[in-house]
Chain A
Amino acid sequence: MTYPALTVITFLPLLGAAGILLLGRGQRARWVALATTLATLAAMAPLCSGFDKTKSGLQFVDLVQWISMGNVQINYQLGVDGISLPFIVLSGLLTLLCVGASWTAIRTRDREFYAALLLAETAMIGLFAAANFFLFFIFWELMVVPLFLLIGIWGGSNRVYAALKFLLFTLAGSVLMLVGMIALQVATPEAGLNFKQLTGTTLDTTLQIWLFLAFLAAFAVKVPMFPVHTWLPDAHTEAPTAGSVILAGILLKMGAYGFLRVALPVLPEAVQIFLMPMLIISVVAIIYGAYVTLSQTDVKRLIAYSSVSHMGFVTLGIFTLDQRAVEGAILQMINHGIISAALFLCVGMIYERTHTREIKDYGGVAKTAPIYATLLALFCLAAAGFPGLNSFVGEFLIIGGAFKTNPWLGAMAIWGVVLGTTYLLWLYYRMVIGEMNPGLQGLKIELTARETLTLAPLAFLALYLGLHPECVLSYLHIPVSELPNIIATP
């Protein structure tokens, strides 16, 4: 029996959220959330097994006629191709882990919290599954609301400032994207804002440039690219653990995904014109982000800034337009989603016990918490690009593409990796190795079974994707090769 799989997967969390809000008082909200996220993840299984990697175009399409006015025809259309499927699975997995991480951390207004989390999941999956720009925009905007609430209500001491900053930055970009979208619709009325149909049309170059700039505003804020990145440290630091995981794991990828879905296929000439500036900004983000990360004293802020640096790698890979590098960049997005989620989870777990984020308050954790120390070591090494773990493959492919484009870019990227390894290993050294910080005496730092279980899938994926990256890369070959102006591998 065929059923609209994508619609179910997208809106199941929304149903769960509605269900939670209808519940009475009590701690049942988290159980409903757990059940919903598990069900959503399970519902993705037929998607993965039934996906045909050799076919180009969207699969599992759900199409419903929606807006028809005159010559404007915009439909409700969901579909996945090789690029969106890994992100959808990642969204499902990370939301499940967020529920696990927030199990004991969220005490007040837990119903609203889990409802917001599930709403966010709907928005995430919907964004990646959207087959036209209209739905893309709807889910893009929808995503901001639950996150604003998550940061602003359950966040740290400076949460209102951080939440407002996040909101204003994102909306500023989105407004320009809206204008761009309307302009696009006016220029190509018959396409109905459908991505696949837009890819075929050739737009006037001037229009393309303006559209690229409009979309750049929105995507650059989300990625985040230098210099519009300053919302990220505050948002990540003040957000609760689940919020940070969603922010770092998925939200940042939405910006780069936007480049892949909108900018590259629809605006090829503009991309060619803006190629070098985008590459340079990416490299600046890598190096600048890494240097600023080195100077941080707050561990959550450190990991947040490291995301700026890592996403610099991603945009660098995308704008080299080399097939292997683009595939590496998409793989790196998945890897970064896994690893930064893991790092934020680790930090959040220890914060629950110590209630301090300052690195100087830590030290010598290894003595009393070996499991935690081992897992943190694994994730730090993975983030640093240690070979055999997931980030290495992505970085290797991206650096290869960077060198082909311009040796200086490659050299800068390598320097970025050096700095990256430095700050991660230095963080690890200060937090875990050495003498036990007296402030930590008497605290039971070692992870509980639930927490270890939450981190286990991420550890497994870090190893598995490092040794067998083909399991993600195999999905990417066809859709990436169909992007215009891609330099294919011989």
Chain B
Amino acid sequence: MNLDALNISWLHPGLVLILGAWILPLLRGWARRALMVAIPAVAVVICLGMTKGTYGEVSFLGLEVVFGRVDQLSLIFSYVFSIMALLGMIYALHVEHNSQHVTALIYAGGALGVTFSGDFISLYVFWELMAISSALLVWQSREPGAGRAGFRYLLVHIVGGLILLAGIVLYGSENNNSFAFGNMAALEHTAAWWLILLAFLINAAVPPLGAWLPDAYPEASVTSAVFMTAFTTKSAVYVLIRGFPGTELLVWLGAAMAVYGVVYAVLENDARRLLAYHIISQVGYMVCAVGIGTALALNGAAAHAFAHILYKALLFMGAGAVIQMTGRRKLSEMGGLYKTMPITLTLYMIGAFAISAVPLFSGFVSKSMIVSAAGEQHLMWIFLTLTLASAGTFLHTGLKLPYYMFFGKDSGLQGKEPPTNMLVAMGLAAAACVVIGVVGLFPSLLYKELPYAADYVPYTLHHVTATLGMLAFTALGFFLLLKHLDPEPKISLDTDWFYRRGSAVFVRSFQQPLARFESGYVGKICDFVILQFVLRVAGLLRNFDTRIVDFSVVGLGRLTQALSQILKTTVSGNVQHYALMMVAGVLVLLALAMIVR
């Protein structure tokens, strides 16, 4: 490698995280905890202090590899990734297993690497690093389902990574061996374009390729899941913004994703799985915005990614705290915790308001950018779909989940506030959500940080009233339909039978088949397609190898052996036989000689 061009004044924050992680196992006690917080804090400081430019250009195999492409887009993602690494580490301070921290830091470092890579080679390296480290994160959980879930997760990401590799190789050969990573519009609809897009969409958890997300995230441990929500999908959003802005396919995919996530969340009883489906829904907003492609939309995608990482982490932290302190994962087993875990409840609700785009919280600022961009481009169906998904989001994350977790029936669980470090992490994330929401009141402060030039005012009377109206009606609908969203419905016959029946039919019409399809899809079909089918083919080919290919050659040997057994009988040891054979042989030769003559 030719390191002459390396600008030593720039330090890759991802490298700080990846290398710093390996020092952790060498320390103990408070020194270890201090380092756990210090490493990502150093990364945050580096990111905040970075100046734009291109750094870390290295020549590898005659190809130009750029490790440090620093512009506004990569800066904004780097801020939120490094802050997230810090929050996640604070949240996990109480965990004793070092392997989890090392893996989580490497994972975060990989995400930063993806953010700053200026070419496909470095992108691929960090992409694979993220895949392996996140799979390891799932595997380190003690849950019984973690082993298989982690393996499925790993396979999906390995296949995705190799699709990316195929796309990269094709890209290079179409581009005279230049692997620079930028807007791919010039290569639209070529094989390389499709393959790279497909690989990015797998990581963004676009259905039907996104089944790995709700499958694996609930199996990770409480603290690992917080890390996992942030990096894989949002780095996929980053590379989509970078490489595929304005691709029309993404508009429809994104809108479908937004609704898909919300619809599947209806069926969920496991708290974190519900939240995982909401990740798909929110990423759908971002994907849709990338597809719309206007400056406002791309700003919205970046801003929404920023806000989403923070509030989603907060939601997972809150749900995780409840799971850790009560030992329960399923909503039907929880309830009545508001008495014993009020701080957790409050912080969780801040996250819930943020995801629901309540004014004065971060989600409002970013989501309204996206929805307005859709409106500006006159994509009316998209506008309606995204608004519908917003309602659904508020319904589940803002109302249903906290209701069943903290209110609702008294499950008799004895909750307790989680350890201080977890509360501190949640508090910081909550503060960030509020700060971003309030900063939105001062648009000029906001636009300094966004990558594309646009002017947009989130807090117009129109936006605020529209949002508040939508939220209010959703809340009304929730409380009216409360009994039907209950994870364990109890039916009691009285005068509301008619309208309850009608809505129950509606709910059941998609609940039954979809629920069976969903659990079959994720669990059984993936298992079947990936493992069973491949293993059957492998077994068939092994039998072919043993019984036919090998057998034929070994058969040749056995044939030779059989032949030699027969020929052995001529060697009788009897001299008369030999003399007879010699005379016979001479006679035969004489006869032949005479015939030939």
| Known A-B contacts A291-B538, A292-B538; A387 and B128 likewise in contact (beta carbons under 8 Å) | yes
Decide if A381 touches B541 in the complex (CB within 8 Å).
no
Chain A residues near B539 (CB, 8 Å)?
A: 295
| Interchain CB contact (< 8 A) of B154 among A229, A396, A403, A425 | A425
| Interchain CB contact (< 8 A) of B159 among A229, A387, A410, A418 | A418
Decide if A470 touches B534 in the complex (CB within 8 Å).
no
Chain A's closest residue to B165 (CB) is A414
Decide if B158 touches A410 in the complex (CB within 8 Å).
no
Decide if B147 touches A421 in the complex (CB within 8 Å).
no
Decide if B1 touches A468 in the complex (CB within 8 Å).
yes
Decide if A414 touches B162 in the complex (CB within 8 Å).
yes
| Interchain CB contact (< 8 A) of B545 among A292, A421, A467 | A292
Chain A residues near B1 (CB, 8 Å)?
A: 467-468, 470
| Interchain CB contact (< 8 A) of B151 among A292, A295, A397, A429 | A429
Decide if A434 touches B169 in the complex (CB within 8 Å).
no
Query: A103 an interface residue at 8 Å Cβ cutoff?
Result: no
Query: A254 an interface residue at 8 Å Cβ cutoff?
Result: no
The A/B interface has a contact count, at CB < 8 Å, of: 95
| Known A-B contacts A165-B554, A227-B549; A422 and B158 likewise in contact (beta carbons under 8 Å) | yes
B237 CB, nearest partner CB in chain A, Å: 22
Decide if B169 touches A230 in the complex (CB within 8 Å).
no
Interface centre among A229, A419, A470, A473 (most CB of B within 10 A): A470
Decide if A230 touches B151 in the complex (CB within 8 Å).
no
B169 CB, nearest partner CB in chain A, Å: 5
Chain B's closest residue to A294 (CB) is B538
Q: Please give the number of chain B residues whose Cβ is less than 8 angstroms from any Cβ of chain A in the complex.
A: 37
A295 to B534, CA, bound (A): 9
Query: A444 an interface residue at 8 Å Cβ cutoff?
Result: no
Interface centre among B125, B538, B550 (most CB of A within 10 A): B538
Chain A residues near B169 (CB, 8 Å)?
A: 396, 399-400, 403, 410
Query: B172 an interface residue at 8 Å Cβ cutoff?
Result: yes
| Interchain CB contact (< 8 A) of B147 among A294, A400, A433, A473 | A433
Decide if A295 touches B162 in the complex (CB within 8 Å).
no
Decide if A410 touches B542 in the complex (CB within 8 Å).
no
| Interchain CB contact (< 8 A) of A407 among B191, B537, B549 | B191
Decide if A426 touches B173 in the complex (CB within 8 Å).
no
Chain B 146-164, CB-CB to A under 8 Å as 1, else 0, gives 0100010011001100110
Chain B residues near A434 (CB, 8 Å)?
A: 147
Chain B's closest residue to A426 (CB) is B151
Chain A's closest residue to B172 (CB) is A400
Interface centre among A226, A399, A414 (most CB of B within 10 A): A414
Query: B19 an interface residue at 8 Å Cβ cutoff?
Result: no
Decide if A169 touches B553 in the complex (CB within 8 Å).
yes
Decide if B541 touches A291 in the complex (CB within 8 Å).
yes
Decide if A295 touches B191 in the complex (CB within 8 Å).
no
| Known A-B contacts A227-B549, A396-B169, A422-B155; A295 and B132 likewise in contact (beta carbons under 8 Å) | no
Helix, strand, loop or mixed for chain B's interface?
A: helix
Chain A's closest residue to B553 (CB) is A230
Query: B6 an interface residue at 8 Å Cβ cutoff?
Result: no
Decide if A399 touches B147 in the complex (CB within 8 Å).
no
Chain A residues near B147 (CB, 8 Å)?
A: 429, 433-434
Chain A's closest residue to B135 (CB) is A425
Query: A351 an interface residue at 8 Å Cβ cutoff?
Result: no
Decide if B545 touches A230 in the complex (CB within 8 Å).
yes
| Chain A interface residue bracket vs B | 35 or more
Chain B residues near A393 (CB, 8 Å)?
A: 61
Query: A246 an interface residue at 8 Å Cβ cutoff?
Result: no
| Known A-B contacts A230-B553, A422-B155, A429-B151; A470 and B537 likewise in contact (beta carbons under 8 Å) | no
A429 to B155, CA, bound (A): 12
B192 CB, nearest partner CB in chain A, Å: 10
Chain A residues near B128 (CB, 8 Å)?
A: 386-387
Query: A417 an interface residue at 8 Å Cβ cutoff?
Result: yes
Chain B 103-141, CB-CB to A under 8 Å as 1, else 0, gives 000000000000000000000110011001000000100
Interface centre among A295, A403, A411, A419 (most CB of B within 10 A): A295
Tell me the chain B residues, 152-192 only, with Cβ under 8 Å from chain A.
154-155, 158-159, 162-163, 165-166, 169-170, 172-173, 191
A168 to B554, CA, bound (A): 10
Chain B's closest residue to A421 (CB) is B158
A467 to B542, CA, bound (A): 36
Query: B469 an interface residue at 8 Å Cβ cutoff?
Result: no
Decide if A294 touches B549 in the complex (CB within 8 Å).
no
Query: A484 an interface residue at 8 Å Cβ cutoff?
Result: no
Chain A residues near B553 (CB, 8 Å)?
A: 169, 228, 230
Decide if B170 touches A295 in the complex (CB within 8 Å).
no
| Interchain CB contact (< 8 A) of B541 among A292, A417, A421, A425 | A292
Query: B535 an interface residue at 8 Å Cβ cutoff?
Result: yes
A228 to B538, CA, bound (A): 19
Chain B residues near A414 (CB, 8 Å)?
A: 162-163, 165-166
A424 to B534, CA, bound (A): 15
Query: B557 an interface residue at 8 Å Cβ cutoff?
Result: yes
Decide if A295 touches B538 in the complex (CB within 8 Å).
yes
Decide if B166 touches A410 in the complex (CB within 8 Å).
yes
Chain A 372-411, CB-CB to B under 8 Å as 1, else 0, gives 0000000001000011100001001101100110010011
| Interchain CB contact (< 8 A) of B162 among A227, A288, A388, A418 | A418
Which residues of A does B touch, CB under 8 Å?
Answer: 165, 168-169, 226-230, 288, 291-296, 381, 386-388, 393, 396-397, 399-400, 403-404, 407, 410-411, 414, 417-419, 421-422, 425-426, 429, 433-434, 467-470, 473, 489
- When A and B form their complex, which 9 residue pairs have the shortest distance between CB atoms, in order from nearest? A295-B538, A294-B538, A230-B550, A387-B125, A295-B542, A291-B541, A291-B538, A414-B166, A295-B539
Give me 13 other A-B pairs in contact (C-beta within 8 A), A387-B125, A414-B162 excluded: A165-B554, A230-B545, A288-B541, A295-B535, A388-B125, A396-B165, A399-B165, A400-B173, A403-B170, A410-B166, A411-B166, A418-B158, A421-B158
Which residues of B does A touch, CB under 8 Å?
Answer: 1, 61-62, 124-125, 128-129, 132, 139, 147, 151, 154-155, 158-159, 162-163, 165-166, 169-170, 172-173, 191, 534-535, 537-539, 541-542, 545, 549-550, 553-554, 557
Q: Mind listing 29 A-B residue pairs with CB under 8 Å?
A: A165-B554, A169-B553, A230-B550, A291-B542, A294-B535, A295-B535, A295-B538, A295-B542, A381-B132, A387-B124, A387-B129, A396-B169, A399-B165, A399-B166, A400-B169, A400-B172, A410-B169, A414-B162, A414-B163, A414-B166, A417-B165, A418-B162, A419-B534, A421-B158, A422-B158, A425-B158, A433-B139, A434-B147, A489-B62
